[in-house]
Every structure is written in C-alpha cells, then in structure tokens.
C-alpha cells in the first residue's frame, strides 16, 4: 500500500532566505512593448529594453533548477544598478568608468544567488503565477558547495570560506 508523509510545500519554485550555488548560463536582451498610461503621450505604444539573466543552480536539493532575474539594459554608477552589481560580482572586480562590459565574459562563473518572493500574478487562464526572481548575486571562491546555503556574509567569528568583502 502506498504511503506519504505530509511536508511543507510552497507555490514558489525556490525558497526565500537561502543561498544557492549557481552559474550564469545566459544574458539575453529583450524589447518589451507597452502602452503609455499617463501624460501627454497616454495611449501611445512604446518599448523598453531589459536584460534577462539565466542562472542554473549547481548543487544541493535544487541542483539543475533554473533561476532568472531581470535588470535594466544599461550599466551605470547608480547604487541600485543590478547590471553593475552582478557584473562586478561575477568579474571579481569593479568596472572602471567608461569600461565596456561583455556578459559573455561572466558566463559559467560560479557564484551564490538568493531569490525573493514577489506577489503572485494572474495568468491569462486565471491561475496564479508565483515569481521568485534572483535577488542577489554573491561571489563563490574556493568553498565547499555543501556550505552554500549558509549566509555568505555571516562568519560568527569563524572562517566559512566565504569572502567577507562586499561584492561591489
């Protein structure tokens, strides 16, 4: 006779508050159409560009699962610019003002990622979609991947193999 044990489950593919070992598999630029809703151009059609970052989790319970994050399609010095933050983290250095950044240079580089749980959205068929985009990217250097779900900034006075310097 089949048996089962009740376990906690979530509609989200990945849990919040954990860190996953991953590699960046691709960055794709997409042009997104939209309709302007306010102002003198209300009702006009327009587009904007974004970059879609595709990561693959490389260890632990979620090995092989894809994780995705969107950023603006420009590299700036703004504090909240994710292209700069993620690019510098994966490169392991700061980009210089005026320097070009080719995302092909950071493909397959090991890192740690975390995700966040965004509010569910309705699909066209009426079912809910539970987005959990990549929230943060951290460097991964010379550590045992079994420790990857620990907080990469927490040391508790002991060495965890994580680099304690901010990634950018």
Residue 91 belongs to a domain = yes
Distance CA 143, CA 162 (A): 7
Residue 40 belongs to a domain = yes
pLDDT tens digits, 80-131: 999 999 999 999 999 999 999 999 999 999 999 999 998 888 888 988 888 8
Residue 128: the pLDDT is: 85
DSSP string computed for 124-151: TTS-EE----EEEEEE--S--GGGTTS-
Residue 67 has pLDDT above 80, yes or no: yes
Pairing of strands 20-35, 110-115: antiparallel
Residue 95 belongs to a domain = yes
Instruction: Kindly state the average pLDDT of the residues 66-78.
Output: 95
pLDDT tens digits, 138-159: 998 665 444 544 555 554 444 4
Residue 154 belongs to a domain = no
Residue 14 belongs to a domain = no
Residue 156: the pLDDT is: 45
Q: Which long-range contacts (CB under 8 A, 24 or more apart) does 57-63 make?
A: 57/14, 57/20, 57/21, 57/22, 57/113, 58/21, 58/22, 58/23, 58/110, 58/145, 59/20, 59/21, 59/145, 59/146, 59/148, 60/20, 60/21, 60/145, 60/146, 60/148, 60/149, 62/14, 62/20
Containing structural domain, residue 65: 20-147
Residue 13: the pLDDT is: 85
pLDDT tens digits, 39-62: 999 999 999 999 999 999 999 999
Q: Find, among 112, 89, 88, 107, the residue nearest to 99 by Cα.
A: 88
Residue 41 belongs to a domain = yes
Residue 24 belongs to a domain = yes
- Looking at the 3D structure of the chain, how many domains does it have? 1
Residue 43 belongs to a domain = yes
């Amino acid at each position: 006779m089949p048996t089962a044990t009740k376990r906690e489950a979530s509609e989200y593919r990945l849990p919040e508050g954990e860190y996953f070992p991953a590699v960046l598999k691709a960055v794709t630029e997409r042009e997104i159409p939209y309709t302007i809703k306010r102002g003198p151009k209300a009702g006009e059609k327009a587009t904007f560009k974004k970059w879609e970052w595709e990561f693959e989790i490389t260890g632990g319970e979620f090995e092989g699962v894809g994780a995705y994050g969107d950023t603006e399609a420009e590299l700036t010095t703004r504090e909240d610019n994710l292209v700069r933050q993620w690019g510098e983290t994966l490169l392991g250095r700061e980009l210089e003002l005026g320097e070009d950044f080719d995302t092909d240079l950071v493909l397959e580089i090991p890192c740690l990622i975390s995700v966040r749980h965004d509010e569910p959205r309705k699909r066209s068929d009426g079912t809910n979609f539970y987005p959990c985009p990549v929230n943060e990217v951290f460097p991964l250097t010379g550590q045992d991947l079994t420790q990857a779900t620990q907080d990469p900034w927490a040391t508790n006075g002991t060495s965890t193999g994580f680099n304690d310097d901010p990634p950018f």
